[in-house]
Structure 1
Amino acid sequence: MSDSVGVLGDEPVAERLRERGVSVVTGAPDDVPGTDRIVAVGRAATSAAAAADADPLVLPVEAGRGVRSVARDEVTDAVAALSDASVERHPVLSVSAAGSPAGTALFDVTLVAAEAARISEYTVTTPTDAVGQFRADGVTVATAAGSPGYARRIGGPILAPTDTVGVAAPIAPFATNPDHWVLPLAGLSLSVERDEATVALFVDGDSEGTVACEESVSLSRAGTLRVAVVPESRSRFG
């Protein structure tokens, strides 16, 4: 293992580690360090580390409960504990829209009406089941890493670490008792069924264009992110 630690997303964190004698290589979301260990500050940096070609051990900082983030003021102690860290593995998803690549997702994939107070109709399907069809502002699919985030705020459950299933949840559905589903991620598909509103696609919070009526967004397994869990890592459940 290289002695250097990559720091992605925050120069002050890199400087704090240097002051403690850590050899640091800095990077940016479009230029991920090629080190064996990466400190990823924030969700965007953690997503970028997940999409990198290498297979680093990632210590998420202030990136949400789903990836057991550490607090910014505990980074130096957390890095010192990396040699004894346990590892959680999270799926990285390849996202395609209408058959064209639309990015990779560590946390969630969302279809939502681009204009306020507009709804559309959506379907959720797996390779073996037509799961649900509903009218709503949108729909989100979250991995276990993303399940304590937006999906939880709209009623979905928090998942323990798993690389096989995720949560699908309608956003502001036109129903009084909406369903939420825990489903296999591989082959999961979201479709827009009515040409009533412009529907935007977001992958880990980044806008990836729009999805037209009768077009589908499909998920497939692209890789795995190894997340370091140290004593400073917070619980995903609280």
Structure 2
Amino acid sequence: MSDSAVGVVGDPAVADRLRAAGAAVVEGTVDSVPTTERVVAVGRRAVRAVATAVVDPLVVPVDAGRGLRSVTRDAVPDAVSGLDDAFTERHPLFEVDVTGEAVGTAAFDVTAVTEEAARISEYAVATTTDSVGQFRADGVTLATPAGSPGYARRVGGPVFAPAESVGVVAPIAPFQTNPDHWVVSLDGLSVSVERDEATVALYADGDAVATVACGESAQLCRSGTLRVAVLEESCSRFR
């Protein structure tokens, strides 16, 4: 183990396991992220908390999804002991704005979806320079590379490696037989509600952050970078 302390957020049992392996540990919470240079983040909520904190540590994601090449809880001691030789991946983070007001930050995905079951709405997606598509559907998800193997994949989107501000747009249950999916720059990407038929809720990394009314839009703006350690213990994002 390295002599420098490692922060742990998300699971006290993981902190105890590291201490038993001889590591110096600083425990934190999603509301108080340790200021250590390296942080073990257990779960997606912990990863997002670390990503949006003032500090900029090298992160070891644990059980936080294939998109970040997570390690398992059992593999954490070996992963931390190998951090000096880790490869660093950089993942984009995005601020989410609704009608110009910041409502949250996304490391994985942003989803707009009708609140009521079996109701659809109409959505338009656009970059800063081009119209991407307009469609009727239950909703739409905008996924970062970290989020591409998650819900976006389950609705037919591709899985891809980290890229500067690039992500996937995937309609959810679209009202068409052969729906498109798009790989575009997420920086400046917007989704707007085009019909006043149902209440549309907006989620950032699974947390409800706002509602979007007809004629309103949600926009993603690049806000930072998450540095992730890739180790021998890291899973593959593609399987």
Q: TM-score w.r.t. structure 1 length?
A: 0.98
Match of 2:97 in 1: 96
Q: Which residue of the partner structure matches residue 71 of structure 1?
A: 72
Q: Please name the residue that 1:181 is paired with.
A: 182
Deviations 1:136-165 (A, max 9, x none): 000000000000000000000001111221
Q: Is the 8 A contact 2:111 2:204 kept in 1?
A: yes
Q: CA deviation at 1:232?
A: 0.1
Structure 1 unaligned residues grouped into runs of 5+? none
Aligned partners of 2:165 and 2:222 also within 8 Å: no
Which 4+ stretches in 1 moved above 4 angstroms? none
Deviations 1:70-127 (A, max 9, x none): 0111110001011110000000101101211111100000000001000000000001
CA distance in 1 between counterparts of 2:47 and 2:184 reads 24
Aligned length: 238
1:68 partner letter: R
Q: Which residue of 2 aligns with 1:217?
A: 218
2:155 pairs with 1:154:
yes
- Structure 1 residue 2 displacement after superposition: 7.8
RMSD, matched Cα: 1.0
1:108 is aligned to 2:116 = no
Structure 2 distance, partners of 1:41, 1:108, is 18
Matched AA of 1:106: A
Cα distance in 2 between the residues matched to 1:166 and 1:221: 12
* Alignment partners' CA distance in 1, 2:104 and 2:50: 13
Written as runs of structure 1 = structure 2, the 5 A alignment for 1:28-107 is 28-107=29-108
Percent identity over the alignment?
A: 66
Return closer, same or farther for 1:2/1:22 CA change in 2, 3 Å cut-off.
Answer: closer
- Listed as ranges, the gaps of 5+ residues in structure 2 are none
Instruction: Specify the code of the residue in structure 2 equivalent to 1:129.
Output: D
Question: Is contact 1:192-1:216 (8 Å) kept?
Answer: yes
CA contact (8 A) 2:113 2:200 kept: yes
Matched, 1:190 2:191: yes
Say which SS state the counterpart of residue 76 (structure 2) adopts: helix
Distance 1:200 1:173, change over 3 A: same
Aligned 8 A contact 1:2 1:36 in 2 = no
